[in-house]
């Protein structure tokens, strides 16, 4: 999706002009994928812009860094303050927030530890990730021929830039085959997640999602959706799921910061159709929470003002 430029980007503690927010061609992360990052959304509320679960996202970035022996040279509190200042400075009422901590330039070679850890935060206005149509009518998915990585090849628990070549391969394959998005199976052949979203299905009126040991990213939206479903009186079971579970699901939806709660209407020509009641109830609640319409969930909102 195209990006509309804003005024400033935060880089290593400074606010720099959008067009100057660049890196050297020998940036380590460009060659070897040695960066950890986050995707966060800020929504317009009646109390001004509010970032959804900002601290949880930044703590996940810190943990991703820990897995890759990349110590981020700013505290979570410093990054929260920088995010607030950046959103205000760019006069955005709602936006996507992309923090990234990556090995910069200095040395080339597989040993990254002598390169600096550069940190940046960019914000921009972003609409529905899979399109407005998708949010309303649902997307068409296909099971990818590419498997999600094994935890001892690239840890799926960490949101690391290099790992996303796997998601990109699956996304290319799905889109080039006429689908919107791919379902990824883990090396054992069980359901893990989509290229940039966690997955939920409904069967016999019950909600299921793959457990973290099936290899999905521990999504913050996934966690939010489990709590929302519980609060709506619905149980979510973490279960090892097969391809057939997908093909026979009564309802299915993808969740993520970018994709929000997107219904799925088809998987490999096994049709689900229009979004069902469980999907719609969760989607509606999610949007009312992120937009600050439900005070019960205010501790998930990080008000910028
Ligand atoms: N799985 C993957 C692989 C993933 O990248 C994301 C986020 C999720 C699940 C959902 O996680 P969470 O956002 O914490 O609920 N994907 C981000 C990046 C998308 C992109 O195009 O870049 C996002 O949703 O912001």
Placement of tokens 């993520």 in the chain:
256
Query: Mean pLDDT, to the nearest integer, of 6-30?
Result: 98
pLDDT digits 0-9 by tens, 202-239: 999 999 999 999 999 999 999 999 999 999 999 999 99
And the tokens for 209? 């999602």
Closest Cα partner for 77 from 62, 94, 90? 62
What's the CA-to-centroid distance between 57 and ligand 1, angstroms?
A: 11
Please, are residues 14 and 20 in contact by the beta-carbon 8 Å criterion?
no
Instruction: Give residue 1's pLDDT.
Output: 80
Please, are residues 254 and 174 in contact by the beta-carbon 8 Å criterion?
no
- Work out the burial of residue 102: count CB atoms within 10 Å of its CB; fewer than 13 is exposed, 13-18 middle, 19 or more buried: buried
And the tokens for 14? 């400074």
And the tokens for 235? 């149980």
* CB 220 near ligand 1, within 6 Å: yes
* CB 39 near ligand 1, within 6 Å: yes
If you take atom 4 of ligand 1, which residue's CA is the nearest one? Answer: 196
Q: Which residues are catalytic?
A: 159
Instruction: Give residue 52's pLDDT.
Output: 98
Q: How far is CA 38 from CA 27, 101, 280, in A?
A: 19, 9, 27
- Phi then psi dihedrals of residue 267, to 5 deg: -130, 115
Band (pLDDT 50/70/90 cuts) for residue 2 is confident
* CB 30 near ligand 1, within 6 Å: no
> 54-67 and 220-231 are packed helices; what angle lies between their axes, rounded to 10 degrees?
140
Please, are residues 70 and 101 in contact by the beta-carbon 8 Å criterion?
yes
pLDDT digits 0-9 by tens, 100-157: 999 999 999 999 999 999 999 999 999 889 888 999 999 999 999 999 999 999 999 9
Percent of the chain with pLDDT over 70: 100
* CB 210 near ligand 1, within 6 Å: no
Instruction: Give residue 96's pLDDT.
Output: 98
Placement of tokens 């319409």 in the chain:
293
* CB 257 near ligand 1, within 6 Å: yes
Question: Ligand 1 pocket check: which of 216, 257, 289 to mutate, most ligand atoms within 8 Å of Cβ?
Answer: 257
Q: Name the pairing type of β-strands 198-203 and 251-256.
A: antiparallel
Query: Mean pLDDT, to the nearest integer, of 252-267?
Result: 98
Please, are residues 208 and 241 in contact by the beta-carbon 8 Å criterion?
yes
Please, are residues 142 and 185 in contact by the beta-carbon 8 Å criterion?
no
- From first CA to last CA, the distance across the chain in angstroms is 28
DSSP string, 203-236: ETTEEEE--GGG-----HHHHHHHHHHHHTT--E
């Amino acid at each position: 999706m195209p990006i509309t430029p804003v005024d400033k980007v935060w880089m290593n503690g400074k606010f720099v002009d959008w067009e100057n927010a660049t890196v050297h061609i020998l940036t380590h992360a460009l060659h070897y994928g040695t960066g950890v990052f986050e995707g966060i959304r800020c929504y317009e509320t009646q109390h001004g812009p509010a970032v959804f679960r900002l601290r949880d996202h930044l703590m996940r970035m810190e943990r991703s860094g820990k897995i890759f022996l990349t110590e981020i040279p700013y505290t979570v509190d410093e990054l929260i303050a920088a995010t607030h200042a950046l959103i205000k400075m760019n006069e955005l009422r709602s936006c996507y927030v992309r923090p990234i901590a990556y090995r910069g330039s200095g040395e080339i070679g597989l040993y990254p530890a002598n390169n600096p850890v550069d940190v940046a935060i960019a914000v921009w206005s972003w609409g529905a990730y899979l399109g407005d149509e998708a949010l309303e009518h649902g997307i068409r998915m296909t099971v990818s021929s590419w498997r999600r990585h094994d935890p001892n090849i690239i840890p799926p628990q960490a949101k690391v830039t290099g790992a996303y070549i796997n998601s990109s391969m699956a996304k290319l394959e799905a889109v080039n085959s006429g689908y919107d998005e791919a379902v990824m199976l883990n090396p054992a052949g069980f359901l893990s997640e989509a290229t940039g979203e966690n997955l939920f299905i409904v069967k016999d009126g019950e909600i299921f999602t793959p457990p973290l040991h099936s290899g999905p990213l521990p999504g913050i939206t996934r966690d939010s959706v489990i709590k929302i479903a519980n609060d709506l009186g619905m149980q979510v079971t973490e279960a090892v799921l097969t391809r057939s579970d997908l093909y026979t699901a009564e309802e299915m939806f993808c969740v993520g910061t970018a994709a929000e709660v997107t219904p799925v209407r088809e998987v490999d020509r096994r049709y689900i159709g229009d979004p069902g009641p469980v999907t719609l109830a969760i989607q509606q609640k999610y949007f009312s929470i992120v937009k600050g319409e439900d005070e019960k969930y205010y501790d998930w909102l990080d008000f910028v003002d």
